Structure 1
Amino acid sequence: MEKSGETSDYHALVQAAGELYYRCGIQAVGMDAVRAASGVPLKRLYRAFRSKDDLVEATLRERDAALRASVGDYVAAHSSGDAESAVLALFDWMADWFAEDTFRGCAFINAFGELGEESAQVAAAVRDHKRAFRATLANLVAALDLAPGEADKLTERLYIVANGAMATAPITGSPQTALEAKEIARALIEAAPSTA
């Protein structure tokens, strides 16, 4: 098979599997359903991915890259230039995400909830994504004028608030969850000791 065909198969499989896993759940979707949705023959599917865990990991890695780019673009476009508005823009991005018709919660929280430690490679992909999300928050918080040692504390608190909103929003079915989380974030920022 040509490299371009392999690349095409890979992307078709990752896209189809990612959509199915997110909509239906990982354990509910078999490889045959991925084959049917992607149009890639089963033999070529298993050539691209030796196991379902490999495919699940690939979908999570792809989603991670897309989400990080989306967050970065949104924050850059919607913050008013000051550090606090950049942090709070992240929660506005979440509100837009929660309002999407296809929103089914955080794919990473969902994957970990379904598979837990049953798949070390899936758990690693989830942890890598959450570390990257925390690093994004840390970079935004670092621009705030905080007293020494306060940035790490605030980052951890905002990380917990944001992930709590991601876990709660599919249950409430409302983007308001992100806006409530934004108000908590604003209060935490205002309460954090500054260098002034």
Structure 2
Amino acid sequence: MVGPSRPTLSGTVDIVVDDSIRHTVTLAPGAGQGTATWTVSLAPGVHRMTAAYSGNEFYQPFGFSGGTTIQNGRLEVTPPERIVAGEPFTVRVKVVPINGATGTPSGTVRLSHGFWPDQATATLDGTGSAIVTLTASFPSGNTPSALVMYVEYLGDGTFLPNTWTAVPAIPYSLPDGSPAGGETPEQAAT
């Protein structure tokens, strides 16, 4: 027995970027799907996009609208290896020009981690860098064993806002050095 087959998807897709760049692609037909490739170079910034599928004898026309951001700066972040409740820790942030951007980024970065309102802001220096120091709060309730850290660059007149998230989360402990989430494996074994 042969499984169910899907009708062939064929036709064209009209693509418009920023109301000024227009292109039509013809789909390479396939069972239940069609593919096409169009390469376009976009300047850094936020771009609006729409696409309209022509439809065929099996599929009705439909459209899509959305957007994309082409960044012109990348965040380089040096987080701490561990965060200890009640102790200060330092994070180094640098905004580096990319995608042909030139100049030195300026403006503000905002840093936060798992416990609100633990956040700080810092102004980038003449090299596009900042050093941010926070003191980790003592948690209330269940204590995590790791914290997610977020860094947000707010942008300036030239460089676009951007974000960075620590993956994996940064280990978190109480001041006695034990993991905040409970016993260490060595403690549990004794």
Shorter-chain TM range is under 0.3
Q: Relative CO higher for 1 or 2, CA cutoff 8 Å, sep ≥ 6? A: 1
Q: Whose Rg is larger?
A: 2
Greater strand proportion: 2
* TM-score (ref. length: structure 1): 0.26
Greater helix proportion: 1
